[in-house]
Every structure is written in structure tokens, then in C-alpha cells.
Amino acid sequence: MEKYNLIVGQSGGPTAVINCSLYGVIKQCLESEEIGTVYGMVNGIEGFLKGNVIDLKEEFRDPEKLELLKQTPAAFLGSCRYKLPPIDETEVYEEMFDKFNDLNIGAFLYIGGNDSMDTAGKLAAYGRRHGSDIRFLGVPKTIDNDLVGTDHTPGYGSAAKYIAATVRDISIDAGAYDLKSVTILEIMGRHAGWLCAASALARNEHEHNPMLIYLPETPFHMEQFVQNVKDALEKEKNVVVCVSEGIRDEEGRLICEYKGKAEVDSFGHKKLTGAAKLLEAAIMSEIPAVKCRSMEFSLTQRSSAVLASGRDKEEAEQVGRVAVRAAIAGESHQMVCMERAEGEEYKIDYVLKDVVEIGNKEKLIPSWWITKDGTDVTDDFIDYVKPLIEGECDIKYQDGLPLYVHRSRASM
């Protein structure tokens, strides 16, 4: 059989380990004699349509550079948020498949979240309808952990580790003074509270914070919140509260919009910031004798190289490798999913699932993992999330800072 080329792209929000999946793809291609060249789309399919493609075997001729890719956060290839039209609108598809043919592409891999799985699914469906033998595979990635069909998503474990470590650091810092204080931390999560829930890992036998955790899955009541904080202050002088940016009230109204409509960014996504600020104002007005502060974790929670989870990095690499092997085996229209084995010991099996089952869906935290009063998670959730943050990374530094690799200009 003649060799064919593989093309890979990254899409959606970056994570600390999305480049580990890219590493896995490149490494597996180098080890597979079926694959000729490995191309990278620069800025996903949006860049691909503009002709922005690089030769990744050429880019990573130096094996040391390839190893550094694993500790480089954010999307090495660049990302995009580009939604393909329905496959009946053939124009853009014709253009893409012409380009695929020009480059002798036999396999297309897309690393991303549910929007990206929508892309992979549409391309696969179009290809099938038009008799193409190109294989289309999805490689999961999102800090939000909201993809269905998989135990968890690569990227989540590292963000969870960053959040747990940082909540603990802040709690220790906030407890330095002998006074009552409330610290409100705003964590990413528009609809699903997985990231905020991970803050519970900050607790241990010495550390009682976060004492309160509010998730988008449970309706938020401002008066109840103030009462919860008062109760917490009866028990401990240093109270740390973690809230998802997307918390909303019984009517579904976002708390961050209580002060006015949220701004909309250039992608049409609402900027969901300000919930913590608003809760801070409520505490300062209702419990004035207490020191109160708020902060937003913002971009650092998805881009920290030094707090990436070793296990997450390893799994991110594996989903990339499995996707290449699946493509070689002739699979298409699938995403690589992770299934956790039953039993005490943590073990993951990698399986394939139809992308249509995954794209455009959203997995929330199940209600039985949230306490009845809606201010905490259960021990079962802790058992679920704890293994995902395990393992540290041996980071290479230069001049006191982590050493990253940088993309050459697109050459084709």
C-alpha cells in the first residue's frame, strides 16, 4: 500500500496539555510506516482554508525540540473557532477536499472540544457521501470536562490541579492575619461546574477551605449565600468561597448580569466575568466587619506549564497516538474516548465513539455529586477527580523560566 499523508489541527480554547496530544500524533506518525508526511494546519481549518500549513516532520527534525513541545502550553499550531456549514452547502467542502487531494491526505485529525467534533463529523459525513476514503478522527481536548462519551477530557486534570493548588495557596495566604476574612474566587465554567468543583481538592486534614463551592448546576440564591457565609464565619475566621463564572439564579438569570448585560466578545460569547465582584459587594454590605476580597482565576488556569498534571499529560499524548493508530486501521467519523476501569486502581482504556454522539452536546456534573444544599461536592466526586491531578512534570528551564518551543512561519 502506498504511503499517505496525515494532517492535524487544533481548535477551540487552549489547554496546558493540548500540545501533548499534538506530540502524541507526531510521535505515532514517526513510528508508523504507513504515514508519509505529517502536516499541521495553522489556526485550524480556518487557517487551512487560507493555505496555512506546515510540515511537522520538518518542524521537529530536532528530537529535543519535539520533547519541549510537551511542556509548552497553549495551541502550538494556533487555534480557531470556525463552524462549518451544513454539508449540503458544498462550496467550502469542495475547496477543502481539493486541498486534501493536493496534499495527498489520507487522514485528518482534529484536536478540540465539542465544536471541533462537529467539524470532524461534518467532514467525515461529506467525505462519505462523496466517496472519499480520507479518515476523519477527533482527539478530545477541553479544560471544561464537558464532553459526553468520555470519562474526562485531556486538559481538565491540569486545570483542576492548578485550581486546587492555587486555592490552597490563596487560603494559606488569606489566613495569615488574625482576623475574619472572606475571599471569593471566580473559576471558569459557563454551564458545567467541573473546574470550580475541583477546588474541593485544596482541602486536607489541615486546610478547611474552600468552605463553600457554588456551581452553575444548582440555582444560586443571594440571600442564602450571605447566610452560608455568616454560618461559615461562625466556624472559621478564614473563609474561602469558590464560584463558577456561570452561576445563575432560579430563573436562569446569570449572577454576573445582575449589574447589567454581560459584554459579548468578538466570537459572540458573553464575557461571564464579575460574579465574584458582585458577591464581594454583597458581603461587604451585609457583613461589613469582615475583610472581603475577590479575584478571578482567568487565563492562568488553562495555561500553567508548571502545574500541569503528569497523568493528564500522559493521557493527552495517548489520545493523540490512539487517533493515529485508528486512522491507520481505517476508522473514521470517531472520537477517541477514555473509559475508566472499575475497581480501586486507576486505569484508562481508550475506545472510539461516533463523533455525532459527542459533537454539540454538554456534560454537566450529575446531581448526586453535589450536596443537597448546593454548597459542596460529594466524596464520590472527590474519588472521581483526585487521580486526574496526580503526577508532576520535570520542566526544563532557561533563564529562570520554563522553556517553550515556537512555531516557524507557515511555509506552504
CA angle at 208 for the pair 202 and 209, rounded to the nearest 5°:
55
Restricting to residues 262-281, which ones interact with its own copies according to CB under 8 A? 263, 265-266, 271
Q: Is 91 in the site for its own copies (CB under 8 A)?
A: no
Q: Is 206 in the site for its own copies (CB under 8 A)?
A: yes
CA distance 284 to 387: 38
Q: Which of residues 68, 69, 75, 107 is near its own copies by CB under 8 A?
A: 75
Which stretch in 55-63, 213-221, 258-266, 316-324 sits in contact with its own copies by CB under 8 A? 258-266
Shortest spacing between CB 406 and its own copies, in angstroms: 4
CA distance 360 to 343: 31
Length of the chain: 412
Sequence-ordered list of residues with C-beta below 8 angstroms from that of 9, at least 6 positions apart, any chain: 40, 41, 44, 45, 47, 48, 77, 109, 110, 111
Which CA distances in Å does 344 have to 152, 348, 378, 384?
A: 18, 12, 18, 11
Choose between 178 and 379: whose C-beta lies nearer to its own copies.
178
CA distance 255 to 257: 5
Give yes or no: 373 in active site: no
- Between 127 and 146, how does the x/- string for binding to its own copies read (CB under 8 A)? --------------------
Residue tagged active-site, from 144, 146, 312, 376: 144
Q: Which triple of cell numbers denotes residue 354?
A: 461516533
Choose between 80 and 213: whose C-beta lies nearer to its own copies.
80
Q: Is 406 in the site for its own copies (CB under 8 A)?
A: yes
Q: Which triple of cell numbers denotes residue 39?
A: 502536516
Q: Which residues pair with 264 in a beta bridge?
A: 270
Determine contact, residues 193/362, Cβ cutoff 8 Å.
no
Q: Is 390 in the site for its own copies (CB under 8 A)?
A: yes
- Between 326 and 355, how does the x/- string for binding to its own copies read (CB under 8 A)? ------------------------------
- 169-176 long-range contacts (CB < 8 A, ≥24 apart) are 170/240, 170/295, 171/202, 171/207, 171/209, 171/210, 171/238, 171/240, 172/207, 174/238, 174/240, 174/293, 175/237, 175/238
Q: Is 178 in the site for its own copies (CB under 8 A)?
A: yes
Choose between 203 and 353: whose C-beta lies nearer to its own copies.
203
Binding stretches for its own copies (CB under 8 A) = 13-14, 43, 46-47, 72-75, 78-81, 161, 164-166, 168-170, 172-179, 183, 201-202, 204, 206-207, 263, 265-266, 271, 284, 289-291, 293, 295-296, 298-300, 302-307, 309, 386, 389-392, 395, 397, 399-402, 404, 406
Residues assigned a catalytic role:
144
